[in-house]
């Protein structure tokens, strides 16, 4: 969850006023107060998806002049839109919560020459995906994870801030690796091989880290007095669900292959490996996996992020715009049912007053991974 004050988390449960703003910025800035030109927000939303390559996308309608040249403010040729939504307190102060930086991809005006303008934006991972290398590049034995990320990300975003939750500078590969023609896939494979998630955060920084601990909820989504739930729908499905992960490492050179398996061994889980759900393994292989311990960590992390998928809940709520995909929450929508532990998969954050936040989650089954 993005950092906010206790006052914010209390106020969001009661009646309050919201505010939103957007700034068009030159590319490459970081932090939550970039230099830029503020444009009005008529309507729009930010969509966040933990399962997508591009985690955050922007749909924003504004009133502005349509760009008359390639150097216009709203041309999709490099400028970014920085978006915030916040709470206006009774004393007149506003606590803003950044929704991130978005590269403009499309500028659309339906009713020229004076109609409103719709902007389509995508977070900075889109730049990594777009910037495919012109020729293969080899990273020699002994190259560190940090050095690879610094080089490949820095080619696209010079000076980018990259945050790791492990010592990436001291983590090296014993053999060489060749980047062929897909920068994003190469970097994501490294992150996956260490059981990490990779995304651009609200402050414009690339993060490579372990997903939040599903046993520690960051917010209670509840009904009734002081609650934030508006509507709830539920569904059960098994498409795309697995209950084991086989992770193998096939190092370049003469190093022997390694292998590890993670199972759902919780008898209370609907996807219990030895239960009626059946045995449905997923296979993952990477040349970046070089030890059995690393293979096990990758398998465990992939399985933990999938546990509980057969039971999905969609709900709308009073917006707590500090929430993010993969945040664990407690969900309560009836006095007759127990509180459930869920992990957020997608969020839709409205940028205009009156809108509700849409979310999809999966119930998290705790324990039993081995």
Q: Backbone phi, then psi, for 235, in 5-degree steps? A: -155, 155
Specify the pLDDT at position 232. 85
Helix (H, G, I), strand (E, B) or coil at 261: strand
Q: For the chain, what is the mean pLDDT? A: 92
Q: How far apart are CA 150 and CA 163, in angstroms?
A: 11
Domains in the chain (CATH in brackets) are: 6-123 (no CATH), 131-209 (3.55.50.10)
Buried b (16+ CB within 10 A) or exposed e, 47-84: bbbbebebbbbbbbbbebeebeeeeeebeeeebbbbbb
Closest CA to 259 of 226, 228, 285: 285
pTM of the model: 0.92
pLDDT at residue 99, as a whole number: 98
Q: Can you give the pLDDT at residue 368?
A: 59
Q: How confident is the model at residue 65 (pLDDT cuts 50, 70, 90)?
A: very high
Element (H, E) at 88: strand 80-88
In the numeric block, the tokens 């096939």 are attached to 250
Q: Confidence class of residue 102 from pLDDT cuts 50, 70 and 90? A: very high
Are 313 and 345 contacting, i.e. CB atoms less than 8 angstroms apart?
no
Residue 367 binned pLDDT confidence (cut-offs 50, 70, 90) = low
* Mean pLDDT, rounded, for 255-266: 92
Nearest CA among 58, 191, 170, 184 for reference residue 118: 58
Most confident of the ranges 164-168, 252-256, 268-272, 299-303:
164-168
pLDDT at 300: 94
With cut-offs at 50, 70 and 90, classify the pLDDT of residue 369.
low
Q: What is the pLDDT of residue 37?
A: 98
* Per-residue pLDDT at 365: 67
CB 106 within 8 A of CB 119: yes
pLDDT of residue 310: 59
Among the listed ranges 16-30, 51-65, 164-178, 221-235, which one has the minimum average pLDDT value? 221-235
pLDDT > 90 fraction of the chain, expressed in percent and rounded: 75
Average pLDDT over residues 145-164: 98
Retrieve residue 103's tokens.
């590269």
> Residue 292: pLDDT above 90?
yes
Could you read off the pLDDT of 182-234 as tens digits, one per residue? Answer: 999 999 999 999 999 999 999 999 999 999 998 899 999 887 777 788 788 88
Separation CA 231–CA 316 (nearest Å): 5
Mean pLDDT of 37-54: 97
pLDDT of 239 reads 84
Provide the 3-class DSSP secondary structure of residue 10.
Answer: helix
Under 8 Å between Cβ of 22 and 38: yes
């Amino acid at each position: 969850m993005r950092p906010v004050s206790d006052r914010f988390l209390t106020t969001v449960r009661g009646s309050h006023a919201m505010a939103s703003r957007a700034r068009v910025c030159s590319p490459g800035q970081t932090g939550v107060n970039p230099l830029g030109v503020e444009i009005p927000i008529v309507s729009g939303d930010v969509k966040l998806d933990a399962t997508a390559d591009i985690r955050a996308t922007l749909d924003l309608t504004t009133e502005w002049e349509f760009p008359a040249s390639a150097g216009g403010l709203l041309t999709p040729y490099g400028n970014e839109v920085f978006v915030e939504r916040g709470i206006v307190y009774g004393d007149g102060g506003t606590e803003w919560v950044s929704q991130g930086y978005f590269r403009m991809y499309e500028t659309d005006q339906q009713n020229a020459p004076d109609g409103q303008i719709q902007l389509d934006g995508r977070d900075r991972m889109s730049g990594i995906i777009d910037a495919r290398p012109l020729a293969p590049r080899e990273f020699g034995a002994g190259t560190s994870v940090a050095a690879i990320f610094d080089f490949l990300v820095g080619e696209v975003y010079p000076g980018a801030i990259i945050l790791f939750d492990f010592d990436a500078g001291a983590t090296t590969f014993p053999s060489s690796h060749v980047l062929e023609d897909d920068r994003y896939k190469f970097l994501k494979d490294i992150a996956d091989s260490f059981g990490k998630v990779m995304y651009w955060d609200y402050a414009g920084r690339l993060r490579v880290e372990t997903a939040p601990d599903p046993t520690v909820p960051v917010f209670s989504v509840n009904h009734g007095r002081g609650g934030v739930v508006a509507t709830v729908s539920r569904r059960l499905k098994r498409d795309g669900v697995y209950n084991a992960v086989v992770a193998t490492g096939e190092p370049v050179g003469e190093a022997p292959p390694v292998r590890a398996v993670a199972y759902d061994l919780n008898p209370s889980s609907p996807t219990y490996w030895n239960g009626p759900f059946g045995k449905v393994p997923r296979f993952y292989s990477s040349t970046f996996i070089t030890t059995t311990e690393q293979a096990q960590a990758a398998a465990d992390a992939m399985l933990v992020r999938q546990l509980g998928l057969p039971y999905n809940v969609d709900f709308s709520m009073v917006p707590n715009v500090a929430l993010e995909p993969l945040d664990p929450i407690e969900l309560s929508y009836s006095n007759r049912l127990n509180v459930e532990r869920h992990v957020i998969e997608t969020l839709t954050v409205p940028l205009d007053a009156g809108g509700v936040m849409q979310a999809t989650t999966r119930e998290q089954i705790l324990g039993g991974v081995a």
